[in-house]
A and B are shown apart, each in its own frame.
Chain A
Amino acid sequence: MTDAEAHAQHAGLAHQFEDLEQQQEADALGIWLFLVTEIMFFGGLFAAYAIYRWLYFGVFQGGSHILDIRLGAANTVVLLGSSLTMALSVRSAQTGNRRALVLFLVATMILGGIFLGVKAYEYNQKFVEHVVPSLDWAPEGQTLARLSPGGLEHAQIYFFFYFAMTGLHALHMIIGMGLLLWLVLRARKDSFTPHYFAPVEVVGLYWHFVDIVWIFLFPLLYLIGGRY
């Protein structure tokens, strides 16, 4: 290889590794292991959700009716789009296309931002409808009518899971946005080459994981009401 390539090869090699290949393998294994821990983390929450849904099926159906399925569906499309742009940014890094890399990272951030904006609107709606457990719980009118068939006593539990699950997901997205910003700044400083773009891959995997969590959340929270 040329001197420039050799230099590029060694740029970004951390001192504890023998070569870039070892470093890349270690980074890949590291992020996959981290994602496994995230699966266990969300898994506990999903397990609790499953148990309460089995116990209070009517309440969960009723609660699901309060959510706006169109917003949820739109957000799903937005997030899937952001995974596409994320994958394209990894591809750009692989091919050494700095401009495209930055563009796609920014696009991912924009789509992520839209998702969070819609979420914020939805959260606000819950306050408007007074279905926030413990903080603002006083459902009335149409909302009350939707929740009653399932039994009002335990509807708070459904909304607790709504806020806990989407809130934890949103927190992960916000962290992801921070990571994306970091990547954008590094990319603009030419930190990445076709030989070294592990941080982009790692953040990419993280972002895809956060997307997949939403793919589970959407049906479990929005679609179980079943009234389309």
Chain B
Amino acid sequence: MQSLPFQPEQASTIARSVDQLYFFLTAVTLFFTALIFSIIFYFMIKYRRRAPGERPKAIEGSFPLEVLWTAIPTLIVAVIFVWSSTLYFRNSEPPKGAMEIFVTGKQWMWKVEHPEGQREINELHVPLGRPIKLTMTSEDVIHDFFVPAFRVKKDVLPGRFTTLWFEATKVGTFHLFCAQYCGAFHAGMIGSIIVQEPDEYESWLAGGAPGESMEQAGAKVFQASGCPTCHLADGTGLGPSLLGVYGNPVKLTTGETVTADDAYMRESIVLPKAKIVLGYSPIMPSFQGQMTEEQLNNVIAYLRALGKAQPKPKEEGKQ
């Protein structure tokens, strides 16, 4: 179905299914509103008071009716719940192979960084027909990344990552809004999603200024911060090797096993004592305040790359 007059463009893979559900909800609303209005109107006229002393007979109630008008709404909301939850659940995880882009929200602008190093302010260029996964954080207060045309929205929180994904189905420029009140220029924290044909996107990417990818920038931050001093590649240093770590399970001193995802990586840099890898001591200093959010994102991109490398063999005796 095409979008109706009072709907934004359908420019993503999920927009149409969200609109279908919305259409159904609108139909239910209009139907029951009309039903109640017309029944009331009809009763108002048919049973209007004809004489001042009129006293209608008492009607206590009707159990069958109560059951009926409890069961039918319950059925309807059950249908909506199942439909909506299925849609929501299916849309909650990005498809594999999604292009990963970092977004940082701050009062009152959006900062975007492509893995290739391309940076944007208040704009996000994406290729058509490719799933895009945004990993987002805030430098200050809670913001919200909202693209009406894609029917996607997610809060952007300080101190942690949230993710959002979409796949654009139309070329064009679409509104990006901040949808969580964030202070004086909340209304000004808007931008554009620019969807391009894949080849146009590639040329845009190539034409950009910094020749350095996020991974390369991250490697530099990694070096400059002294990380290799402890995190030796063979695991014999004071800190664990980071090769092959990203995305894989990690065993902690508490006995727990966690997955080394973005949140874990970020926490390990700003709050290193929170989780200690089994076999190592809690001696890593915190880098909170010493790295900007951007630098943190770059380091994480570098760690993602390291995650794909083979771990170097460890010596016996060091667990």
Q: Do A and B bind each other?
A: yes
Beta-carbon contacts under 8 Å, A126-170 to B: 151, 153
- Asked whether any CB of chain A lies closer than 8 Å to the CB of B273, the reply is yes
Please provide the chain B residues from 256 to 307 with a CB less than 8 Å away from any CB of chain A in the complex.
Answer: 271, 273-274, 286, 288
Q: List 8 contacting pairs A-B, 8 Å CB cutoff, sorted by A.
A: A58-B273, A151-B271, A151-B273, A151-B274, A153-B271, A153-B273, A153-B286, A153-B288
**A-chain residues with CB within 8 Å of residue B288 when the two chains form the complex:** 153
Most chain A C-beta atoms within 10 Å of own C-beta, residue among B271, B273, B274, B288: B273
Q: Write out the residue numbers on chain A whose beta carbons fall within 8 Å of the beta carbon of B286.
A: 153
A58 to B275, CA, bound (A): 11
Binding site for B on A (CB under 8 A): 58, 151, 153
Chain B residues within 8 Å of A153, by CB: 271, 273, 286, 288
Interface string of B188-229 (1 = CB under 8 A from A): 000000000000000000000000000000000000000000
Alpha-carbon gap, A58 to B253, bound state (A)? 13
Chain B residues with Cβ under 8 A from A151's Cβ? Answer: 271, 273-274
Interface residues of B (CB under 8 A from A): 271, 273-274, 286, 288
CB distance from B281 to the nearest CB of A (A): 12
Residues in A with CB closer than 8 Å to B271 are 151, 153
A137–B110 CA distance with the chains assembled, in angstroms: 36
A58 to chain B, nearest CB (A): 8
* Beta-carbon nearest neighbor of B271 in chain A: A153
Report Cα–Cα, A151/B288, bound state, in Å.
14
List 6 extra interface pairs beyond A153-B273, A153-B286, CB under 8 A: A58-B273, A151-B271, A151-B273, A151-B274, A153-B271, A153-B288
Describe A's contact surface by its main secondary structure. helix
Distance (Å) between the CB of B291 and the closest chain A CB? 16
How far, in whole Å, are A32 and B286 apart by their CA atoms in the complex?
Answer: 49
Residue of A nearest to B274 (CB): A151
- The answer for the CA separation of A153 and B271 in the assembled complex, in Å, is 9
Which residues of the other chain, A, contact B274 by a CB distance below 8 angstroms? 151
Please report the C-alpha to C-alpha distance between residue A153 and residue B274 in the assembled complex, in whole angstroms: 11
Of all chain B residues, the one with the shortest Cβ separation from A154 is B271
Q: How far is it, in angstroms, between the C-alpha of A164 and the C-alpha of B288 when the chains are bound?
A: 27
Q: Which residue of A lies closest to B270 (CB)?
A: A153
**B175–chain A nearest beta-carbon distance, Å:** 37
- Closest residue of chain A to B288, judged by CB? A153
Q: Report chain B residues within 8 Å CB of A58.
A: 273
CB distance from B288 to the nearest CB of A (A): 8
- How many angstroms between the C-alpha atoms of A190 and B238 in the bound complex? 77
Enumerate the 7 nearest inter-chain pairs by beta-carbon distance, A residue then B residue, closest first: A151-B273, A153-B286, A153-B271, A151-B274, A58-B273, A151-B271, A153-B288
Set of chain A residues within 8 Å of B273, measured between Cβ atoms: 58, 151, 153
A152: nearest chain-B partner, CB-CB: B273
A151 to B273, CA, bound (A): 7
How far in angstroms is the closest Cβ of chain B from A145?
A: 15
Provide the bound-state CA to CA distance between A151 and B276, in Å: 12
Write the nearest CB–CB distance from B295 to chain A, whole angstroms.
20
Measured between alpha carbons, how far is A151 from B286 in the docked complex, in Å? 11
Query: What residue in chain A is nearest B286 (Cβ atoms)?
Result: A153
- Complex Cα gap A153–B289 (Å): 13
Closest Cβ neighbor of A149 among chain B residues: B282
Q: How far is the CA of A197 from the CA of B271 in the complex (A)?
A: 58
- A58 to B254 CA separation, bound complex (whole angstroms): 12
Cβ distance B81 to chain A, nearest Cβ, rounded Å? 28
Of all chain B residues, which has the CB nearest A150?
A: B273
A61 to chain B minimum Cβ distance, whole angstroms, is 13
- B225 → chain A closest CB, angstroms: 18
Complex Cα distance, B274 from A151, in Å, reads 8
Residue of B nearest to A58 (CB): B273
A151–B271 CA distance with the chains assembled, in angstroms: 9
Q: How far apart are the CA atoms of A58 and B274 in the complex, in Å?
A: 9
Q: Give Cα A58 to B272, complex, Å.
A: 13
Q: How far in angstroms is the closest Cβ of chain A from B80?
A: 32
B202 to chain A, nearest CB (A): 44
CB B297 to nearest CB in A, in angstroms, measures 22
Return the chain A residue nearest B272 by Cβ: A151
Specify the chain A residue showing the minimal Cβ separation from B254.
A57
A127 to chain B, nearest CB (A): 27
In the assembled complex, how far is the CB of residue A162 from the closest CB belonging to chain B, in whole angstroms? Answer: 21
The smallest beta-carbon distance between B136 and chain A, in angstroms, is: 22
Q: Kindly provide the distance from the CB of B268 to the nearest chain A CB, expressed in whole angstroms.
A: 13
Q: How far is the CA of A84 from the CA of B47 in the complex (A)?
A: 68
A25–B142 Cα distance when bound, in Å, is 50
Q: How far is the CB of B239 from chain A (nearest CB, A)?
A: 17
B286 to nearest A CB, angstroms? 7
Determine how close the nearest CB of chain A comes to the CB of B275; give it in whole angstroms: 11
A190 to B148, CA, bound (A): 73
**Chain B: minimal CB distance from A157 (Å):** 13
